[in-house]
Structure 1
Amino acid sequence: MEADGALDPRALERELREAVAADERRERENEAKLRAMRQHVRSYEEFRNIVLASHLKPLEKKDKMGKRRNVLWNPCAAQTKAPQASDVEIPQELDQLPGTSAEFYRDWRRCLKSGKEKYQFLLELGGKALGRIFQADLGFGLLGEFLAVLAENICHEDRDAILQILQSLSGTKRFGLNVDLLSESEKESSRDLFRKLQSMSRDYWTAGCPSSPDGCEAEREAHLMDTSLQKEAEEERIVMELMKCYQVN
């Protein structure tokens, strides 16, 4: 809606495209589930893989990706200018981030090969964009993949960004069902991710607290310590709430 109450045609068109894409995805996944049942698959993992691959089609000549080039795709490294930063090689198609769930699935499945690329992809999008893209529905199996990628690649500088991503995903529709469908390895990745978040939080606030204030700055440092403790308590509350949402004991 615009300020004068008129409808925004572009927003309506975008919502319609996302709704159509979500319906098509659900139809493909349901067909894949029925096909897997008819094939009498032997394990849940095999069943899950069939559903996850339901959108894939054989590549034709025109589908071949163009030349790959090196792009520095690490916003944290770019800001801190860390000497360890390395170039992440990504396809040209990803010069523009996805705006819809259909575009996200295409890039996530076909273009991103390594866990590090997927991790940077999630950080680049951020929690707000991911929440908007998957507001209608978070596709089958994606939540577990996100948790595994985040747990494997998390670093201290990304702690706040990852908390925002986890908060946004927890607000998507059918989130509880997606959590219930996590495999055992994905649940372990979730537990590992939250263990790392809690450890990083403790290390951050312990390092940031002033030690043995004295002299004329004692009062100011005491105030800073109180503020730090309040922020630490708030962050711990957020982590604990997220742990309940993700069913992490």
Structure 2
Amino acid sequence: MKVVTFFLPCTTNSVIMTSTKPSYDDDHLDFGKVEKEAKSLVDYDERYWVENSAKIRAVEQRVASYDEFREIVMAAHLKPLEKEDKISSMGTFTQVWNQSALRKSQKDATGADNEANAKDSKDQASFQVPQTGPEFLQRWKRECINLTQKREFLFAVGPSKMCELFKTDISGGLLGEFLECFLHEFSDSQALPVVELLESLSTSQRFSLSLAFLSKKEKEQLIALFEKLGSVHSTEEAASFEERLASLKRIYSV
């Protein structure tokens, strides 16, 4: 820090010395963004440990089925209602008795899905890859309306980023959801991207635990997916495809 001395005339011929203080006016640190990212990381870490504790409790209780185990884990973060909480704030539940209206509603929903698919294709060029686990989960639940959108979302994120996002654990039953969207409307052109994503997911530190807790239906989907992959004809671009597939079968216990 530089010290600047100013000499000012005065009646007693005395010298007045002043020094400048460091200023941070030129700094442009976005504290709001830093706080938001820090909170996101704290929330993700808190949810992970809550779910992990629930898994341990469920194992110690020797639950009767995987479905019961999964319900315990998925509900671990829920809290009971307080006295001041209002049930009305939870929304209104209605049941449609008019079947013609119900069919019209379903048709409208299908149309909305088609519009969403078209919008996704248009926005593909401006896709922003999620940078944290909480951001991935948020966008997975809000932006991906159907299985096709979920698969395209995973393809857009890519194996390298998926490996980074799920380095420690594939929590919340996501592995089963991934398998389901991979299998949905599978085509030969999707084989390589699917294999690459399966490889990246298998590097998760607790992958064996995620694999062990797949439901019966999810395990059947896993087998069906590998059958689809096994029927793909090898191409020049995928010379080592069969070797990679054989390795994945061992890892996924298929």
TM-score between both structures, scaled by the size of structure 2: 0.59
The alignment status of 1:124 with 2:146, answered yes or no, reads: no
Flag the 1:184–1:116 CA change in 2: closer, same or farther, 3 A: same
Aligned pair partner of 1:141 in 151, 156, 173 = 173
1:87 aligns with 2:106: no
Distance between the aligned counterparts of 1:171 and 1:165, measured in 2? 10
Q: Which runs of 5+ in 1 are unaligned?
A: 1-12, 61-68, 74-85, 206-227
Taking structure 1 as reference, are residues 56 and 97 closer, same or farther at Cα in structure 2, changes over 3 Å only?
Answer: farther
Match of 1:244 in 2: 250
2:215 alignment partner, one of 178, 183, 188:
183
Structure 2 stretches lacking a partner, 5+ long: 1-34, 82-88, 90-111
Shift in alpha-carbon separation, 1:106–1:191, aligned structure 2, 3 A = same
Partner of 2:192: 160
Letter in 2 for 1:87: A
Structure 1 residues 237, 19: closer, same or farther in 2, change over 3 A? farther
- Give yes or no for the alignment of 1:170 onto 2:170: no
Q: Distance in 2 between matches of 1:187 and 1:35?
A: 24
Letter in 1 for 2:251: C
Q: In the aligned structure 1, how far is the partner of 2:207 from the partner of 2:55?
A: 20
Q: How far 1:153 sits from its partner (Å)? A: 3.3
8 A contact 2:179–2:221 mirrored in 1: yes
**Shift of residue 112 of structure 1?**
2.2
Identity of aligned residues (%): 35
Query: SS of the residue aligned with 1:139?
Result: coil
The one-letter code of the counterpart of 1:27 is W
How many residue pairs end up in the alignment? 188
Equivalent AA in structure 1 for residue 141 of structure 2: R
User: Does 2:51 match 1:29?
Assistant: yes
Q: Match of 2:105?
A: none
The aligned counterpart of 1:218 is none
Select between 153-162 and 25-34 the one with higher mean Cα deviation: 25-34
Retained in 1: the 8 A contact 2:66–2:213? no
**Aligned equivalents of 1:36 and 1:175: distance in 2?**
18
Deviations 1:34-59 (A, max 9, x none): 8989xx9875324414523555799x
Please report how far the alpha carbon of residue 106 of structure 1 lies from its aligned counterpart in structure 2 after TM superposition: 1.4
In structure 2, do the counterparts of structure 1 residues 243 and 50 end up closer, same or farther at CA, with 3 Å as the change threshold? same
2-structure distance, mates of 1:237, 1:70: 37
Letter matched to residue 214 of structure 2: L
Give me the whole-angstrom Cα distance separating, in 2, the residues matched to 1:117 and 1:52. 23
Contact 2:169/2:206, CA 8 A, preserved across alignment: yes
Give the CA RMSD over aligned residues: 4.0
In structure 1, C-alpha distance between the alignment counterparts of 2:167 and 2:39, rounded to whole Å: 13
Deviation by residue 1:89-125 (Cα, 9 ceiling, x = unmatched): 69x9x95331111111112233322111111111111
Alpha-carbon distance in 2 for matches of 1:56, 1:153: 35
SS of the equivalent of 2:175 reads: helix
Instruction: Note closer, same or farther for the CA distance 1:231–1:34 as it changes in structure 2 (3 Å cut).
Output: closer
Query: Which structure: greater helix fraction?
Result: 1
Structure 1 pair 135–72 and aligned structure 2 pair: CA distance change class (3 A): farther
Are 1:52 and 2:58 an aligned pair? no
Residue in structure 2 matching 1:103, options 125, 128, 135: 135
The C-alpha deviation readout for 1:18-47, integer Å capped at 9, x for no partner, is 87455312223146558989xx98753244
